[in-house]
A and B are shown apart, each in its own frame.
Chain A
Amino acid sequence: MAPQVLLCDDDRTSTLILKRMLEKSGLSVAVAQNGKEGVSMTLQLKPMLLILDLDMPVKNGLSVLEDLRAQGGGWSPRILVLSAHESPADEAKVKSLGAHDMVIKPFHPAEFLQKIQVLIREGGS
């Protein structure tokens, strides 16, 4: 089955935790370890939902959003961005680049999963 969720985050701890939480809620998850992989895997796997960390080396989240917009090829997943507590991104800006929602790390698991449910529902309808 094609992954419903693509998780794009460079932090191993974060990836392990989020993957587990998503799988527990019955979603299948693929992981991209940096922004470059994030773009190519989105285009290749066409996930329903992309969870994108903004703060990554190699290629950051904002640049991933820009690339996906430029070369999305008709496929646009729902996008949830993860932003750091200490340097929260401008929510209006990330939304104007194509993201649908944002959570600030560290977040409460319930808050995160609730946003995921909403995005999946929107994506499925």
Chain B
Amino acid sequence: MDILIAEDNPVNQEIMRMFMAKAGHQIVIAVDGQRAVEAASKQRFDVILMDGQMPEMDGLEAARQIRRTNGPNRQTPIIALTASVADTDRDLCRKAGMDDFLSKPIRAEELQRAITQWSGPVDAGALNSLQAEMGGRHSPVYQELLGSFLKDTRMNLKALIECLANGNFEEVAHHAHLLKGASSYFGARRTQNICYELEKAARAGHRAPLDGLRISLDREVNALLTVLGKDQSVTGEVR
């Protein structure tokens, strides 16, 4: 996984480096908020870990800027790392666009749990609230929605890949757009992120990144379909 770590303390940087190497993640370290924003504008990450207190620009402001600018990490989960455990600070982190909160000292297993939770194909919180809103995961309404989502998603992915092979960028952008909109309701952030990049590149006629994005999308959508498909009732619509 690609992880951006914004942390000014050299000792903590070293600890993070060890954790991440052990877990097999690729990391980029930014030594202050300003550099974190710059790094986030250049490359898409799966997760961003953000220290609260840093020189130049603090974690809150860096998170706000990443959410506000039109970069590749608008939707990337941002996890705050902070010394404080007060509810008011938690609230400030959320308002700045951060998704989770770990208090220091950070333990390896806690960190890994948060990374796994936030980097999976689906944000469990968003999916749970959708299911609750639709009357529960076994309700006919949710099952109908899920069936149609799974079917449309397979169809859009297939069409996108075909259009890309034919060089029809306008249609690639269209299918990426549809995939992005629908998957957002299911909390499928990574799919959303990749589709956003794909749509942008395809609309600009920018060919270079498209193949790489198509490979990521294929992998991600299949992971998403597997996870969501588990909730499908046997009697539900299949394929």
- Give A residues with C-beta under 8 Å from B: 11-14, 16-17, 20-21, 24, 55, 57, 84-87, 105-106, 108-109
Contacts and interface: CB of A to CB of B under 8 A. Distances in A.
A86 B181 contact: no
Given A85-B74, A109-B129, A14 B134 contact: no
B4 to A, nearest CB: 19
A101 B200 CA distance: 27
Contact of A12 (B74, B182, B184): B182
B149 A13 contact: yes
B97 to A, nearest CB: 11
Given A12-B152, A106-B126, A84 B181 contact: yes
Nearest to A86: B196
A68 B121 CA distance: 40
A14 to B, nearest CB: 6
20 contacts: A11-B178, A11-B181, A12-B152, A12-B182, A13-B148, A14-B181, A14-B182, A14-B185, A17-B134, A17-B185, A20-B134, A20-B141, A55-B181, A84-B180, A85-B75, A86-B75, A105-B181, A106-B126, A108-B129, A109-B130
Secondary structure of the B contact surface, majority rule: helix
Interface in B149-187: 149, 152, 174, 177-178, 180-182, 184-185, 187
B70 interface: yes
A78 B149 CA distance: 30
Interface of B: 70, 74-75, 126, 129-130, 133-134, 141, 144-145, 148-149, 152, 174, 177-178, 180-182, 184-185, 187, 196
Given A20-B134, A106-B126, A86 B182 contact: no
Residue of A21, A55, A57, A85 with highest tally of chain B CB at under 10 A: A85
B133 A109 contact: yes
B184 A106 contact: yes
A33 B172 CA distance: 21
A105 B152 CA distance: 19
A13 B145 contact: yes
B149 to A, nearest CB: 5
Contacts of B145: 13, 16-17, 20
A77 B148 CA distance: 31
Given A85-B184, A106-B184, A108-B129, A13 B75 contact: no
